[in-house]
Structure 1
């Protein structure tokens, strides 16, 4: 995804955000999922032990940089479904690719970000759980395991406080911002990540159709914000709101 620190620009055709020459970075919610996976192994919180942490992405060749960051954070290896520059995959397409990877790798726990922060769809985790027929827990702020390792307890922040849900492996969990504080990839770990394996495959190799089902009609930048004004009292505020058509 685009670096969240960079102000996005709409392309000349007004069909999407301009991506050429713009630095990309890992989605912050996905950073949380990588960090949590590594912490589960480091803290030995999963009784049966974590044997393999696989990072996954679907995107153009430069997406490999994101996978190297994930491996520098502690992922053991990665899988890159390569696409052409400019090709966008909808949440359903990503979910189908993930299902194919889960089936291929015999994975029993998928931890991913609750949403991307460029289109804010927030759909991939839920769609993946539906395709797999697995239980799901979204917006996790804490993940723990019950004694036998099959039970997964997930806490999530809701308007009224903390909601706790329980499920059994295999399971899909999506990460919220309170889950953890992602580590910085140190230089030694970045160097070690270069020796870790990245498997490059295509959607066709997995037998998945990632064709778009939605059409973007138009993308425009938001109008510039207007300056504020001061009023002397409540009556003045009401008059101003009526003048602006707000009431």
Structure 2
């Protein structure tokens, strides 16, 4: 178990990494040299490097300073090992001369639909939608509290500009966290398009993302950092 001091050091390094990642992202956002998907990764690498250096002893930093060229060259080689070259970045694993054949346990006995539902019910756990989606509101509540007309809400939902979650069999509710100044944050439609559904998109948007400095993507969208979030979502939902 890590000591309290070790935990403090880890938390401190995580905060440094997040700050550097954010600053590098802001600095390079308008730089046309960065292709889609490369900005978030570059910023994250810079943050990780800064966090690794910040707590080094003075002697170690001085040695690294004298060997900066070698250090930069090593980082470049490390990144290049993950290139598209099929001969790069692979780990050789020993292959045993003999392999014990196995047919596995199979699928087991076939049961009826009723029995299958009964067995599934023993494992399934009912959860309120608010437990995983956060505060939600229906169309009437949004109209009353936020002044959003039903027709506008319907148009946003049809265009995937606002996330609507099915509650029960027919009713849709809308996570309040996606709203800013009475309208959904920009970029939600792009995330829905990549995720393939409103439910999957919202699950992803509410989870802390290590590529985004451990921040929630929806929080960055609400700060108008759309390109950064969309690039990260594209890398997540459409891996090359």
Fold in common (TM above 0.5): no
Q: Which bracket does the TM-score occupy, shorter chain normalised?
A: under 0.3
Higher helix share: 2
Q: TM-score, normalised by structure 2?
A: 0.21
Q: Which has the larger radius of gyration?
A: 2
- If asked which structure has higher relative contact order (CA below 8 Å, sep 6+), I would say 1
Q: TM-score, normalised by structure 1?
A: 0.21
Higher strand share: 1
